Amino acid sequence: MDFSSVRLVASDMDGTLLNTKHELSPDFFTIFNRMRSKDILFSAASGRQYQNLYNCFPGIQDEIIFIAENGSYVMCIREKSFTSSQWIGILPGIS
């Protein structure tokens, strides 16, 4: 499969990315590193509060775009916090 045009992968958390114990699969980090090696950004999206999402990704928080509180709060540590209407501008080549 050709993923050369993929620039961003976004995933819901509960019931999608997290298991029934509310944990990430150890396989996630392998897949995440493969995406990063191909310059594919990852975004965690949830109704959860930002800090709760942040705590789910130890060691890689500064490489993730967090879409929290049902999209009303977006954070990319490399940039700054901003409202959902402003966040597209930080995604290079995705506007």
> What are the extents of the domains in the chain?
8-90
Contacts for 20 with CB less than 8 Å, ≥ 6 apart: none
Catalytic residue among 12, 14, 27, 62: 12
Q: Which of 90, 81, 15, 11 has its CA nearest to residue 50?
A: 81
* 12 catalytic per annotation: yes
Please write the tens of the pLDDT for every residue from 24-41.
988 999 999 999 999 899
Q: pLDDT digits over 47-81, tens only?
A: 999 999 999 999 999 999 999 999 888 888 765 54
For 47-78, give one letter per residue: b (16+ CB within 10 A) or e.
ebebeebbebbeeeeebbbbbbbeeebbbbee
CATH of 8-90 among 1.20.1260.10, 3.40.50.1000, 3.40.1350.10, 3.50.50.60: 3.40.50.1000
Query: What global pTM score does this model have?
Result: 0.77
